[in-house]
Structure 1
């Protein structure tokens, strides 16, 4: 399966910044999964590096520690882990949905997903919407080629649908804190960014509600 590393390098050359590679976290695990999930976030919280690095390798090999999620990454990844685990293992909030610090193995569920950022270079603690919009315009073809190649059943936009809105033009149904649209066998979910201040249970339940209602059509 195509990894788009060369196309991502072109983004870095255009903006004169080191890139952060992204895509399918673990191709073997992704292909084995009955449900294929693509998370689309804004940018990696990463500034000051002089070299490129790989988000796929980070999730695959560095995100999980003996005590849970790697320090500094919990705010972004905890909700992602909960939701991914719930979808792939058909769990509800009341099931054994372990906190990563109690059962670090749940972090391995992210090896079964694809994860991309709109902005292929690092950013600070707070994203700049205008800057991300510039990256989206330049990288639009790359982003849509990634989506087409990965063929996800479920796409979860973590605060990023606004950049895709004019190109996708989806008609959404409301599910509390998120909205969703089912188009040609793919479920598109416009959710808050995982770092947004919202109860984890609410974030999880609203996304799982629309997923469970659509599963038979995916």
Structure 2
């Protein structure tokens, strides 16, 4: 089981972080689906992973338990509003079309994605921070724990990685996958043929951008 393998990895990772004075390890990985997450992930036509910076004041929490909603009817805040729309769009696009903004940001579709679609959520920095992340700190964590990050992503083996912010994309290309060559298809999409892996150089979900910039631009470029 994927999360069982991750749990074993996290134990060593947490021990190393503790020795380095980095307390408050936050687990992440494949979002729980009542024990069915492994099969759903393996059967998925696209294994979508969101690579992000850090948790916001959630020391010791397990992201895999998060539902992305408080009321069960709509996403929680701007972060999950964008993330769920991306998940819905990236799951359902075809070679020449993608769900409209209206469909992607429809609360029912968003909640279906958050509650039913398999997806992975990985933070570069496993120790939570505050409301604003320091990119230099994120990059430094990526360098210091590069081996663990690569092992985590290899266990998950995604087909699409959405990098939430330029520093996260830099960590992915400079550190995690430094030996891989990614061909730039456009300003958003990079592809490694050997691993059949797509990297999307996206904004952070809470960036001060319109839905068109956050969703429309991504989807336009992914179908090109």
Using the size of structure 1 for normalisation, the TM-score is 0.81
Residue 107 of structure 2 is matched in structure 1 by 100
The 1-side partners of 2:157 and 2:173 are apart by 19
The 2-side partners of 1:102 and 1:32 are apart by 20
The 2-side partners of 1:19 and 1:63 are apart by 23
Residue 11 of structure 2 is matched in structure 1 by 6
Please identify runs of 4+ aligned residues in structure 1 that moved more than 4 A. none
Contact preservation (8 Å) 2:82, 2:214? yes
Residue 83 of structure 2 is matched in structure 1 by 80
Residue 126 of structure 2 is matched in structure 1 by 120
Contact preservation (8 Å) 1:42, 1:119? yes
Q: Which runs of 5+ in 2 are unaligned?
A: none
Residue 74 of structure 2 is matched in structure 1 by 68
Residue 19 of structure 1 is matched in structure 2 by 25
Tell me the SS of whatever aligns to 1:65. coil
The 1-side partners of 2:206 and 2:197 are apart by 25
Contact preservation (8 Å) 2:81, 2:110? no
Tell me the SS of whatever aligns to 2:65. helix
The 2-side partners of 1:103 and 1:18 are apart by 30
Tell me the SS of whatever aligns to 1:31. helix
Q: Given the superposition, is the C-alpha separation of residues 124 and 210 from structure 1 closer, same or farther in structure 2, using an over 3 Å criterion?
A: same
Which one of 182, 191, 195 corresponds to residue 181 of structure 1? Answer: 191
Higher strand share: 1
Tell me the SS of whatever aligns to 1:121. coil
* 1:22-171 mapped onto 2 (5 Å cutoff): 22-26=28-32, 27-28=37-38, 29-46=40-57, 49=59, 52-59=60-67, 63=69, 65-70=71-76, 74-90=77-93, 91-93=98-100, 96-100=103-107, 104-109=111-116, 111-159=117-165, 160-167=168-175, 168=178, 170-171=182-183
Cα root mean square deviation, aligned: 2.4
Q: Which runs of 5+ in 1 are unaligned?
A: 214-218
Residue 216 of structure 1 is matched in structure 2 by none
The 2-side partners of 1:66 and 1:193 are apart by 24
The 1-side partners of 2:110 and 2:29 are apart by 26
Q: How many residues align?
A: 202
